[in-house]
Amino acid sequence: MVVSAIDNGTVIDHIPVQNVFQVVRLLGLDHCDEQVLFGTNLDSQKYGKKGIIKVHNKFFEREDINKIALIAPTATLIVINNFKVVEKKRVEVPDQVLKVVKCVNPNCVTNVENVPTKFKVINKEEVKLRCHYCEKITDKRNMGFR
Amino acid sequence: MKNRSLISIDDFSKEEFIKILDLAEEFEKNPNQRILEGKVVATLFFEPSTRTRLSFESAVNRLGGRVIGFSDVASSSVKKGESLKDTIKTVANYCDLIVMRHPVEGSARFASEVSSVPIINAGDGANQHPTQCLLDLYSIRKTQGTLDDLNVAFVGDLKYGRTVHSLSIALTQFNTTYHLVSPQELKLPSAVKIYIKDRKLDYFQYTDLTEAIPKADILYVTRIQRERFSEPIEYEKVKNSYNLHKGLLEGAKPNLKVLHPLPRVNEIDENVDDTKQAYYFQQALNGVYVRQAILKAILGL
């Protein structure tokens, strides 16, 4: 299967196949007015199988795109302008994560009152987040999204 | 420290802890100083904690300040479904400082972000209780003459014991050696051990209390609660092995002091009360001096 090229926009490549839909949701692409193409279980020389997302006419803030590093650390971000690649980068785990991740602690104020979550990333390799409010650690194994 | 909230023990530096402890020493010498005259302190207790509330209210009263507030949610608008944000924003209009205890973790940090006056966290669920921690530090310094290089044994429920977490984190700044005595099920959580490991401090884990006693300068005892065990039989198995009685103190160092955040149930036998090692009631009194010092520092008086 060939996923057609886009003239302007963003391509997120090398997404682990099991995380494609999570990435779609994390970036709010399920509520996006632009054309969005995505594929999964595509052949990858590097990883065997991969997922890919192409978003027409949309360019993400660095901070937004780095959120996906939490679930798809292998992902590559490609910015396309007039069919040309103008930027190609691996995503990076950010220092701070706002709003998107749910705190693992059910008794945390962010799960009880109307309070947006805020985490400090205390370990980038293992993706460990310390809640700014209840100080409990949410990690990859128990990470949920709001 | 002026106008800053006190939410978590790591909000303040080592120097700031020491400053509070020095101030508390002054209040111990002279507890009645009317420096809070004309000030109003709100004590908002969203869950009851008689001891902590009375200790704060005593501190405010000895300083000549006034107290408003509630001691449980039944008598507040929270019961009508008011959000925490609205409660805090409203009460902040009526006072110069808020002391709050709340069963939800992180509630105090959130309150400090929406409040126009400083917040003192008097316990947020199982998370932090920094004033307890400071009074523990005060008691340790007072009995040992120093906070540095001590052997501190923590006994009992190290998994859920909030005071244990705060104190062990604070002590990482003082080159402490940790002796952690608990049943397997109630070991110190890794989120707290991270702090000890980061500072490359030594810690030893035991299930047998008698092994740790001879090594300790401070024995910090906490209550093991039945409800922490999924199997009642597991509780029955361990409950008596963490019962400190007079006989166990025979091999202790001469400078050993026994601390307990109180209330105690049966983990310290009453026959320990009259030994020279018992310090827990004095520790509770120190809480008033330390809270006076915190009020003074935060209100910038």
Query: What would the pLDDT profile of A64-86 be if each residue is shown by its tens digit?
Result: 788 888 888 889 999 999 999 99
Considering the domain architecture, whether residues A73 and A118 belong to the same structural domain is answered as: no
Are B9 and B128 contacting, i.e. CB atoms less than 8 angstroms apart? yes
Q: What is the pLDDT of residue A3?
A: 61
Residues of A in contact with B106 (CB under 8 A): 108-110, 115, 131-135
- Residues 6 or more apart from B201 whose CB is under 8 A from it? B172, B175, B176, B177, B178
Q: What is the mean pLDDT of residues B240-257?
A: 93
Catalytic residue positions of B? Answer: 51-52, 80, 101, 129
Question: Could you tell me the pLDDT band of residue B81, with boundaries at 50, 70 and 90?
Answer: confident
Contact B105 A114 (CB under 8 A): no
Considering the domain architecture, whether residues B67 and B144 belong to the same structural domain is answered as: no
Considering the domain architecture, whether residues B191 and B114 belong to the same structural domain is answered as: no
Question: Could you tell me the pLDDT band of residue B299, with boundaries at 50, 70 and 90?
Answer: very high
How does pLDDT run across B129-155, given as a tens digit for each residue? 999 999 999 999 999 999 999 999 999
Domain-embedded: residue A15: yes
Cα Rg of chain A (Å, integer) = 16
Q: What is the pLDDT of residue A71?
A: 85
**Percent of chain B topping pLDDT 90:** 80
Contact A134 B106 (CB under 8 A): yes
Considering the domain architecture, whether residues A62 and A126 belong to the same structural domain is answered as: no
**What are the φ/ψ torsions at residue A2 (nearest 5 degrees)?**
-110, 130
Domain-embedded: residue B201: yes
pLDDT of A96 higher than 70: yes
Domain-embedded: residue B207: yes
Q: Which helix (H) or strand (E) holds B287?
A: helix B280-299
Q: What is the mean pLDDT of residues B121-125?
A: 94
Residues of A in contact with B103 (CB under 8 A): 107
Cα–Cα distance for residue pair A64/B80, rounded to 1 Å: 38
Considering the domain architecture, whether residues B80 and B183 belong to the same structural domain is answered as: no
The alpha carbon of B238 is separated from its chain's Cα centroid by a whole number of angstroms, namely: 25
Considering the domain architecture, whether residues B119 and B177 belong to the same structural domain is answered as: no
pLDDT of B294 higher than 80: yes
**Min distance B84 CA to chain A CA atoms (Å):** 7
Look at residues B123, B121, B137, B130 and name the one whose alpha carbon lies nearest to residue B24: B137
When the pLDDT of each residue in chain B is averaged and rounded to a whole number, the result is: 94
Considering the domain architecture, whether residues B204 and B156 belong to the same structural domain is answered as: yes
Cis peptide bond N-terminal to B130, omega within 30: no
Contact B105 A113 (CB under 8 A): no
Cα–Cα distance for residue pair A85/A80, rounded to 1 Å: 5
Spell out which chain A residues touch chain B, with contact meaning CB-CB distance below 8 angstroms.
105, 107-110, 112-115, 131-137
**Count of structural domains, chain A:** 2
Q: What is the mean pLDDT of residues B73-98?
A: 90
Cα–Cα distance for residue pair A109/A98, rounded to 1 Å: 15
Q: Amino acid letter at B238? A: V
How does pLDDT run across A105-145, given as a tens digit for each residue? 999 999 999 999 999 999 988 889 999 999 999 998 888 88
Q: What is the mean pLDDT of residues A28-39?
A: 89
**Min distance B217 CA to chain A CA atoms (Å):** 30
**What are the φ/ψ torsions at residue A3 (nearest 5 degrees)?**
-95, 120
How does pLDDT run across B260-287, given as a tens digit for each residue? 999 898 899 999 999 999 999 999 999 9
Q: What is the mean pLDDT of residues B6-19?
A: 92
Q: What is the pLDDT of residue B31?
A: 95
**Percent of chain A topping pLDDT 90:** 53
The alpha carbon of B40 is separated from its chain's Cα centroid by a whole number of angstroms, namely: 24
Q: What is the pLDDT of residue B112?
A: 98
Q: What is the pLDDT of residue A44?
A: 86
Considering the domain architecture, whether residues A23 and A68 belong to the same structural domain is answered as: yes
In the block, residue with structure tokens 């700031």: B16
Considering the domain architecture, whether residues B112 and B137 belong to the same structural domain is answered as: no
User: What residues are paired with A114 via a beta bridge?
Assistant: none
pLDDT of A4 higher than 80: no
Considering the domain architecture, whether residues A74 and A123 belong to the same structural domain is answered as: no
pLDDT of B75 higher than 80: no
pLDDT of B295 higher than 90: yes
Q: What is the pLDDT of residue A45?
A: 83
Domain-embedded: residue A140: yes
Which CATH number covers residue A116?
A: 2.30.30.20
Interface test with B, best of A113, A135, A136, A137 (most B CBs within 10 A): A135
Partner-chain residue, chosen from B106, B128, B191, that has the shortest CB–CB distance to A109: B106
Q: What is the mean pLDDT of residues B155-183?
A: 94
Domain-embedded: residue A1: no
Contact B191 A114 (CB under 8 A): no
Question: Could you tell me the pLDDT band of residue A1, with boundaries at 50, 70 and 90?
Answer: low
A38: containing domain:
9-90
B35: containing domain:
31-128
- Residues 6 or more apart from A4 whose CB is under 8 A from it? A37
Considering the domain architecture, whether residues A56 and A126 belong to the same structural domain is answered as: no
Q: Which ipTM value was assigned to this complex?
A: 0.88
Question: Could you tell me the pLDDT band of residue A2, with boundaries at 50, 70 and 90?
Answer: low
Inter-CA distances, A116 with A41, A100, B110, B137, Å = 34, 8, 10, 34
Domain-embedded: residue A19: yes
End-of-domain residue from the set B84, B105, B128: B128
Considering the domain architecture, whether residues B148 and B91 belong to the same structural domain is answered as: no
Considering the domain architecture, whether residues B124 and B141 belong to the same structural domain is answered as: no
Q: What is the mean pLDDT of residues B151-168?
A: 93
Residues of B in contact with A112 (CB under 8 A): 104, 107
**Count of structural domains, chain B:** 2
Are A18 and A140 contacting, i.e. CB atoms less than 8 angstroms apart? no
pLDDT of B2 higher than 60: yes
Considering the domain architecture, whether residues B67 and B211 belong to the same structural domain is answered as: no
Q: Give the chain A residue whose CA is nearest to the CA of B84.
A: A113
Look at residues A69, A131, A66 and name the one whose alpha carbon lies nearest to residue B110: A131
Q: Which helix (H) or strand (E) holds B178?
A: strand B177-181
